[in-house]
């Protein structure tokens, strides 16, 4: 597949190399030639010096044949405009814009674009690790508003119904249960066993409530 990465900062350089290692054709665009020094020595994609918003630069990058574009500069406004142009003017199938400043997230969302807020996501992830260190995040959707956690069932819940654990929780849903190495979709009446691995889809508030329930701090 053909990808264009606009912005060769730390995120852009890392993303470009990962895509290249996966066998894709990658063109990295940055207004500053020195930025390309951040690329891994083994990177063999194309580099293109120029303003990512300039039509002639995007054309030279091959935007008409691009399967995807990521705008990951340190300017949220530039990321929004470049991404909007890629989607609306060039019909690039997949476009992602980086959000650096959480206060400007609305600028990107106003264009209806897929966005990744590294600052917001990172802060929330650190908060989760500080407050809920026993839960393992296995998947994060959007910017971390909903995540899938892996929970190990303790002795205290052995033989009790899943509905007893999950029923009262509004922002938490059971999506899979693994027992003796085999996973299945659990129903409300399944009996939990010590050592079961329960995957739940949850908001940050939901996982906090589940943690409290598992620890006995919330009435069962």
- What's the domain count of the chain? 2
Distance CA 9, CA 36 (A): 8
The answer to whether 79 and 99 are in contact (CB under 8 A) is: yes
Distance CA 4, CA 60 (A): 11
Bridge partners for 140 per DSSP: 147
Task: Provide the residue range defining the domain that includes 69.
Answer: 2-121
For 101-157, the pLDDT digits (tens) are 877 777 777 777 777 777 776 776 676 656 665 567 778 787 778 889 988 888 999
Distance CA 187, CA 185 (A): 7
Q: Is the same domain home to 7 and 91?
A: yes
The whole-chain average pLDDT of the chain stands at 87
CA–centroid distance for 96 within its chain: 11
For 44-82, the pLDDT digits (tens) are 999 999 999 899 999 999 999 999 999 999 888 899 999
- Out of 61, 88, 121, pick the residue that ends a domain: 121
Tell me, yes or no, whether 147 lies in a domain: yes
- Out of 63, 96, 121, pick the residue that ends a domain: 121
- The domain that contains 68 carries what CATH number? 3.40.50.720
Cα–Cα nearest to 105, from 52, 142, 139: 142
pTM across the whole model:
0.65
Strands (E), the chain: 2-6, 25-30, 46-49, 68-71, 94-99, 114-117, 136-141, 146-152, 172-179, 182-184, 197-202
- The domain that contains 150 carries what CATH number? 3.30.70.1450
């Amino acid at each position: 597949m053909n990808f264009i990465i606009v912005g060769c900062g730390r995120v852009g350089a890392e993303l470009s190399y990962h895509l290249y290692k996966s066998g894709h054709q990658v063109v990295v665009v940055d207004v500053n030639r020195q930025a390309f020094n951040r690329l891994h020595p083994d990177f063999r994609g194309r580099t293109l010096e120029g303003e990512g918003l300039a039509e002639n630069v995007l054309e030279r990058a091959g935007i008409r044949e691009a399967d995807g574009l990521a705008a990951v500069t340190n300017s949220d406004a530039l990321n929004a405009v470049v991404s909007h142009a890629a989607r609306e003017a060039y019909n690039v199938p997949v476009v992602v814009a980086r959000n650096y400043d959480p206060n400007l997230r609305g600028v990107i969302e106003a264009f209806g674009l897929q966005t990744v807020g590294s600052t917001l996501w990172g802060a929330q992830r650190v908060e989760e690790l500080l407050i809920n260190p026993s839960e393992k995040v296995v998947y994060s959707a959007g910017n971390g508003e909903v995540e899938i956690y892996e929970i190990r069932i303790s002795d205290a819940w052995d033989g009790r119904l899943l509905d007893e654990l999950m029923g009262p929780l509004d922002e938490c849903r059971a999506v899979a249960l693994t027992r003796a190495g085999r996973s299945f979709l659990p129903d409300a009446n399944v009996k939990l066993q010590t050592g079961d691995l329960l995957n739940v889809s949850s908001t940050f508030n939901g996982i906090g409530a589940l943690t409290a329930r598992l620890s006995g701090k919330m009435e069962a």
